[in-house]
């Protein structure tokens, strides 16, 4: 538990990264205060929860980061479940990526990590798969977690158990720097509409798609995604199906989470669109025709925090005292475990293994600037 009178580490944004960081910092004895504008708008509640470094076809440093996080997820989830007393809905169920030809399958960036399937193998893994798919890759090591209904709540509960304080409905308006440019306070407006100044020498920026509103140097833009869910029979689908443009994620109770559009041009425009919903319906009919008859449950949308290379911005940033945990685009659920571990360790000045320090360095915020690339 945190020492009394210790100035808390401020977490700016109470979405998935904010909660994951708050939890790890509190576990290490830090006082932590989460400033959260709107819990429900967090992409952490929107995501499909796939843990899919291989099915997503990642490469280079991002694949390495995803694989490192995937390895850590079972222990991370066990910790959250023990701390919260709640289940997170982790399912190491494997993910199947279908292709229209064996050639397309063999050209997939992560093909070497998966098991090659022909049409017959595809039908065995995904009974009822649409007729246009002739080949597939099974990534048995990938999986899913029920972020929307379980993980986010369990993380919040785990934070509370470790003494984390929350100010919900609080918008951080700006950062105040001292003469040397380091963080010395944040300015905010609380849920009652009052302006406040909170002194802070240590904070984590975890504002997701909205991060550049607080720190315009960060190249983070929103990429909107629309989702829907259907209620299927309990064990109709054993594996996640990751098709081009649409994926189907079967939860334990038969709920089928269907995603997702990828709309960079939509900015922060709220709401569902007919074109987006049509894309998802067509994707369902292509991937698993029988599911087109299953009753619809919910429809929702959210904003992925995207960077120029679609990798996150991690660790120290342009403002001393303000660490970054943002820009995770379409893999934030996967990357939450490693993000929380590495950023918390760097913030607290803990030693990192060389491989971990290398990963953190690969996701520096200024890697897009020519003078800092490859440093
Ligand atoms: C449709 C969709 C599907 C996805 N599917 C997957 C998937 O299957 N697998 C996967 O790994 N990832 C997936 N993702 C990505 C994942 O959800 C995100 O990368 C991750 O949630 C980002 O976490 P975050 O904490 O950075 O942002 P968020 O979870 O969005 O949280 C940001 C929070 O910051 C708050 N905030 C913003 N500005 C301020 C401010 N000024 N003051 C105070 N608070 C503020 C917001 O209110 C929000 O609650 C998906 C995302 C979307 C949108």
- pLDDT tens digits for range 274-316: 999 999 999 999 999 999 999 999 999 999 999 999 999 999 9
For residue 282, give Cα distances in angstroms to 242, 257, 269, 270: 14, 15, 23, 22
How far is the C-alpha of 136 from the C-alpha of 66, rounded, in Å?
21
- Ligand 1 centroid to 331 CA: how many Å? 10
pLDDT at 5: 55
Atom of ligand 1 nearest to the CA of 213: 41
For the Cβ of 223 lying below 6 angstroms from any atom of ligand 1, the answer is: no
How far is the C-alpha of 304 from the C-alpha of 298, rounded, in Å?
19
- Ligand 1 centroid to 69 CA: how many Å? 17
Atom of ligand 1 nearest to the CA of 326: 26
How far is the C-alpha of 171 from the C-alpha of 95, rounded, in Å?
38
pLDDT at 328: 98
Comparing C-alpha atoms, which of 88, 335, 135, 137 is closest to residue 240?
137
Comparing C-alpha atoms, which of 327, 352, 346 is closest to residue 15?
327
For the Cβ of 305 lying below 6 angstroms from any atom of ligand 1, the answer is: yes
pLDDT at 374: 46
For the Cβ of 319 lying below 6 angstroms from any atom of ligand 1, the answer is: no
Residues 24-70 have pLDDT tens digits of 999 999 999 999 999 999 999 999 999 999 999 999 999 999 999 99
How far is the C-alpha of 30 from the C-alpha of 162, rounded, in Å?
10
- Ligand 1 centroid to 191 CA: how many Å? 21
Tell me whether residue 217 is exposed, middle or buried, using C-beta atoms within 10 angstroms of its C-beta: 0 to 12, 13 to 18, 19 or more: exposed
Residue of the CA atom closest to atom 2 of ligand 1: 47
For the Cβ of 202 lying below 6 angstroms from any atom of ligand 1, the answer is: no
- Ligand 1 centroid to 46 CA: how many Å? 8
For the Cβ of 66 lying below 6 angstroms from any atom of ligand 1, the answer is: no
Are β-strands 203-205 and 9-12 bridged in parallel, bridged antiparallel, or unpaired? parallel
How far is the C-alpha of 65 from the C-alpha of 44, rounded, in Å?
19
For the Cβ of 227 lying below 6 angstroms from any atom of ligand 1, the answer is: yes
For residue 137, give Cα distances in angstroms to 13, 95, 246, 259, 260: 37, 8, 16, 19, 20
How far is the C-alpha of 83 from the C-alpha of 310, rounded, in Å?
32
Secondary structure of the chain in the HEC alphabet? CCCCCCCCEEEECCCHHHHHHHHHHHHCCCCEEEEECCHHHCHHHHCCCEECCCCCCCCHHHHHHHHHHHHHHHHHHHHHHHHHCCCCCEECCCEEEEECCHHHHHCCCCHHHCEEEEHHHHHHHCCCCCCCCCEEEEECCCEEECHHHHHHHHHHHHHHHCCCEEEECCEEEEEEECCCCCEEEEEEECCCCCEEEEECCCEEECCHHHHHHHCCCCCCEEEEEEEEEEECCCCCCCCEEECCCCEEEECCCCEEEEECCCEHHHCCCCCCCHHHHHHHHHHHHHHCHHHHHCCEEEEEEEEEEECCCCCCEEEECCCCCEEEEECCHHHHHHHHHHHHHHHHHHHCCCCCCHHHHHHHHHCCCCCCCCCCCCC
- Below-70 pLDDT ranges, the chain: 1-5, 371-375
Could you give the angle at the alpha carbon of 200 between the alpha carbons of 199 and 206, nearest 5°? 130
For the Cβ of 334 lying below 6 angstroms from any atom of ligand 1, the answer is: yes
CB proximity list for 360: less than 8 A, separation 6 or greater: 314, 315, 342, 343, 346, 352
């Amino acid at each position: 538990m945190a020492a009394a009178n210790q100035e808390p580490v401020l977490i700016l944004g109470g979405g998935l990264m904010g909660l994951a960081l708050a939890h790890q910092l509190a576990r290490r004895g830090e006082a932590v205060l989460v400033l959260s504008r709107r819990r429900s708008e967090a992409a952490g509640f929107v995501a499909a929860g796939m843990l899919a470094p291989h099915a997503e076809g990642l490469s280079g440093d991002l694949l390495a980061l995803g694989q490192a996080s995937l390895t850590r997820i079972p222990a991370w989830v066990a910790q959250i479940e023990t701390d919260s007393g709640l289940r997170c809905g982790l399912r190491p169920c494997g993910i199947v990526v279908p292709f229209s030809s064996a050639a397309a399958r063999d050209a997939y960036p992560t093909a070497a990590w998966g098991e090659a399937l022909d049409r017959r193998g595809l039908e065995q893994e995904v009974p009822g798969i649409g007729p246009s798919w002739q080949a597939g890759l099974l990534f048995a090591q990938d999986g899913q977690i029920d972020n929307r209904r379980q993980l986010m709540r369990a993380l919040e509960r785990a934070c509370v158990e470790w003494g984390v304080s929350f100010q919900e409905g609080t918008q951080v308006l700006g950062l105040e720097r001292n003469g040397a440019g380091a963080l010395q306070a944040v300015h905010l407006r609380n849920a009652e509409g009052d302006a406040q100044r909170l002194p802070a020498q240590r904070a984590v920026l975890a504002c997701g798609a909205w991060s550049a509103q607080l720190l315009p140097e960060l190249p983070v833009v929103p990429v909107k995604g629309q989702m829907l869910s259907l209620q299927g029979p309990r064990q109709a689908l054993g594996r996640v199906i990751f098709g081009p443009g649409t994926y189907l994620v079967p939860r334990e109770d038969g709920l089928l989470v269907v995603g997702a559009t990828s709309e960079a041009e939509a900015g922060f425009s709220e709401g569902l669109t007919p074109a987006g919903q049509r894309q998802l319906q067509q994707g369902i009919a292509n991937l698993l025709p029988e599911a087109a008859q299953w009753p619809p449950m919910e429809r929702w949308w959210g904003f992925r925090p995207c960077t120029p290379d679609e990798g996150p911005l991690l660790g120290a940033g342009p403002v001393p005292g303000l660490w970054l945990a943002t820009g995770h685009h379409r893999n934030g659920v996967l990357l939450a475990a490693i993000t929380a571990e590495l950023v918390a360790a760097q913030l607290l000045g803990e030693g990192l293994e060389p491989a971990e320090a290398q990963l953190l360095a690969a996701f520096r915020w200024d890697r897009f600037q020519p003078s800092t690339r490859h440093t």
